[in-house]
A = this chain, B = another copy of it.
Amino acid sequence: MIIMMNAPTIDQINRVLDKLRQLGLDGHSITSLDKTIITASGDLSACRPELYERMPGVDKVVIVETPYKLASREFQNSNTIVTVDKASFGGSTIPVIAGPCAIESYDQLYQAGISAKAAGASMLRGGAYKPRTSPYSFQGLEKAGLEIIKTVGSEVGLPVVSEVTDPRKVELIAEHVDMLQIGTRNMQNFVLLKEVALTKKPVLLKRGLAATIEEWLMAAEYIMSGGNNQVVLCERGIRTYETYTRNTLDLTAVPVIKHLSHLPVIVDPSHGTGSWRWVSPMAKASVAAGADGLLIEVHPCPEEALSDGPQSLTLNNFSQLMAELNTLATALGRSL
């Protein structure tokens, strides 16, 4: 933390230094012409700019420390590998999670799962509890959906992931799936983050709709500080002024996260773009950017989907994409 003071009196400088000392922080001041700068170091969580911003003589307070700790590369230099059955995120492989947005029926999920597996997917996804913008939209099959995904996952031989939205349902869902998804609207639902931390299940943490990279890592920090280190981050597009695409896929976040954090980061080009038409090029771009995996919506019959049909690939499209991704991964020295 750096505290900038404009033409302060000696007394004003000392009051700032005293306050730092009271909170166990180490402060040093340096004066040059009429500017004084105080640097503070020590326990990160005691760096609270608001305590100093209104003290007399203080002009500006800048936090230069990263607010996340467990999630940072400084804390752990080597990549965290998150393993979900045979899928492994964070190493040289690039697992692909495929499946429909919402679980609609056993048949629908089974078809999706068996084809996804055949095409080379490593995990099956499907929502049983759906956070929908409208109270009048389909809200998911709930408990029945959980039973379907558990059954189908076991039948087709793929580990499964499904979204949690309610802290009261975390335990139930954890009994049915191999990985818990925190959706974009719940990235800062801290109550829910603390709850999934307790399960010790791997967590797929989607980036919030308008979350900064720092806030996203802080959400991971909530889960990790709660005792669960098995966090996979998922870029899924951010909200910008551009309306042609549903969201703006922020692919630069991939190398940025790999630089700042040891956690794996995957990409969801389906939500990230909002249309099946852009899924294949952006899936390939994600892999070239260094993503640790992909999450792709696949539906046996997208035009009948009860949720997010326009962004789902058909089983054929998906199968073709997987072939192209294989070639690409090989050229980059990796594999799906």
Please give the residue numbers on chain A whose beta carbons come within 8 Å of chain B beta carbons, in ascending order.
Answer: 2, 4, 26, 28, 30, 32-33, 35, 37, 39, 41, 44-45, 49-55, 60, 62, 64, 67, 131-137, 165-168, 185-186, 188-191, 209-210, 212-215, 218, 221-222, 225-226, 238-245, 248-252, 254-256, 259, 272-273, 276-278, 281-282, 284-290, 302-305, 307-310, 327-328, 330-332
Could you tell me if A251 and B285 are in contact, using CB atoms closer than 8 angstroms? yes
Residues of the B chain whose Cβ atoms lie less than 8 Å from the Cβ of A32: 26, 28, 39, 41
Q: Beyond A242-B212, A251-B251, A281-B290, is A135–B225 a contact (Cβ under 8 Å)? A: yes
Q: Is the CB of B137 within 8 A of A45?
A: yes
A248 touches B244 (CB 8 A): no
Which of B60, B131, B135, B209 is the one whose CB lies under 8 Å from A64? Answer: B60
Q: Can you name 7 A-B pairs with beta carbons within 8 Å?
A: A53-B310, A133-B188, A209-B210, A212-B244, A249-B251, A281-B288, A285-B286
Contacts of A54 in B (CB 8 A): 276, 302-303, 309-310
Look across to chain B and name the residue whose beta carbon is closest to the beta carbon of A169. B191
Of the candidates B53, B285, B309, the one whose C-beta lies within 8 Å of that of A285 is B285
| Contact with A39, one of B30, B134, B135 (Cβ below 8 angstroms) | B30
- Cβ–Cβ < 8 Å partners of A49 in chain B: 310
Query: Within the oligomer, what is the number of copies of this chain?
Result: 4
User: Which of A35, A49, A276, A288: most chain B Cβ within 10 A?
Assistant: A288
CA distance A254 to B240 in the complex (A): 17
Shortest distance from the beta carbon of A241 to any chain B beta carbon, whole Å:
5
A282 and B238 contacting across the interface, CB-CB below 8 Å: no
State which of B131, B218, B288, B302 has its C-beta within 8 Å of the C-beta of A328: B288
Cross-chain contact A252 with B273 (CB below 8 angstroms): yes
Question: What CA separation (Å) do A259 and B35 show in the bound complex?
Answer: 20
A162 to chain B, nearest CB (A): 15
- Identity of the chain B residue whose Cβ is nearest the Cβ of A250 in the assembled complex: B248
Question: A203 to chain B: closest CB distance in Å?
Answer: 15
Given contacts A252-B282, A285-B286, A287-B288, 9 further A-B contacts (CB under 8 A): A32-B41, A52-B303, A186-B189, A210-B239, A238-B241, A251-B285, A254-B281, A281-B289, A288-B288
* Residues on B with beta carbons closer than 8 Å to the beta carbon of A33: 26, 41
Closest chain B residue, CB of each to CB of A70: B135
Do the beta carbons of B210 and A210 come within 8 Å of each other?
yes
Expressed in whole angstroms, the minimum distance between the Cβ of A213 and any Cβ of chain B is: 5
A288 to B278, CA, bound (A): 12
Contact A62-B60, Cβ < 8 Å, known A50-B310, A252-B278, A304-B51: no
